[in-house]
Amino acid sequence: MKTGTTVNRHATRQSTTWLLPVVWLLLTICGTAVAEEQGGGAVPNPGIELWRAVREGPPPGVSRSQVEGIGMTTLIAEGGERWRQLRSNYVAPWGGWALVGMLGVLTLFHLVRKSPERFDGSSGKVIVRFPDYDRILHWFMAGTFLFLAISGLILLLGRYVILPLVGPQAFGAIASASKEGHNLFGPVFIVSLTLFVLRFAQRNFFARGDLAWLAKGGGMLSGKHVSAGFFNAGEKILFWSITFGGLAISISGLILVFPLFGQSRELMQLMLLVHGIAALVLIAFTFGHMYLGSIGLPGSFNAMNTGKVDADWAHAHHDRWHREAEEKGLIEKAPS
């Protein structure tokens, strides 16, 4: 009898098990109907507040994390996705195509312009344009900037250009090395930029004749020389672009590399955009500077190579400075 009773109880329990979810569903529906009748709306999702706290972070003092800092208690930052879309869909592709366009413009300009006058040293006279300290400082800053430009472009555009060519593992190593090197040499660039500005600022203030030089485009299209001093208006624009662009890169870079001063995520996202855009503009300017300092204006490279330029070159491109050097007896006989 006991065995039969036990079997019957087990069977009854199995037959009524399916009723539990049905009862739960009916109670839920009834509760929802009552809530709608009393409150005039749907029952709020009990997880709304939880997920709002996950996205936005709880109020101050409600929770804490082992890592202290602004935004450390926010598990999911919604603004990060908007920033990623802006960087990936606009800054990176537009910046990359802008650099390609700059190279295209320089190439087209080189093909259609009149052949620039060449100075082969036949004048037999030279002028010291940049002493050793100036040239060392120039190449120190130029080398640092080029390294930062290349490593920065790898981080910005590498996944679109390099990743498909070398694969994820190789690109991961390249990107990691670029990031570490970029962060390491960033402060070095700040030092070189400061010394560069202190050394050359005095000669780059705009003065008489600069507006006329700009109005005539420096004679680049007409082939006719335009009067200029030690630095022409184009070189002065480049100098101040490097100064203020480098300042923007330096300040934004320090905020990004040393997030120890209470920077918010939003500020760092903004600084990363400023950093990238300012760097892209300076790289584009650097393309033009490299072109004009080499094949664009034959004889110009000697200024930063040996420090001396041909006297005829000086008279053609910087006639006022040539006249001053002649009055001061600074024109030398060219070494044989």
Tokens at 223, concatenated = 């082939």
Beta strands in the chain (DSSP E): 125-128, 308-310, 331-333
Domain residues of the chain, as ranges? 2-43, 79-333
Residue 331, classed as helix, strand or coil, is strand
Cα–Cα distance, 315 to 132 (Å, whole number): 22
What is the reported pLDDT for 44?
58
The residues, ordered by sequence, that sit 6+ positions from 88 with a Cβ below 8 Å of its Cβ are none
CATH superfamily of 79-333: Transmembrane di-heme cytochromes, Chain C (1.20.950.20)
- Angle in degrees, CA 215, 218, 223, rounded to 5: 115
Tens digit of pLDDT for each residue in 145-170? 999 999 999 999 999 999 999 999 99
For the stretch 38-71, pLDDT in tens is 554 455 565 666 666 656 555 555 556 665 666 6
Contact yes or no for 249/282 (Cβ under 8 A): yes
CA distances from 89 to 114, 131, 265 (A): 40, 46, 20
- Residue 329: its pLDDT value, please? 92
Residues in the chain where the model's pLDDT stays below 50: 1-4, 6-7, 10-13, 15, 34, 36, 40-41
Residue 30's pLDDT is: 54
SS3 content of the chain, % helix, strand, coil (to 5): 70, 5, 25
The whole-number pLDDT of residue 263 equals: 78
Per DSSP bridges, beta strands 331-333 and 308-310 are unpaired
Token pair, residue 2, equals: 């006991």
Mean pLDDT score of the chain: 83
Whole-structure pTM value: 0.78
**pLDDT value, residue 206:** 93
C-alpha distance across the termini of the chain, in Å: 128
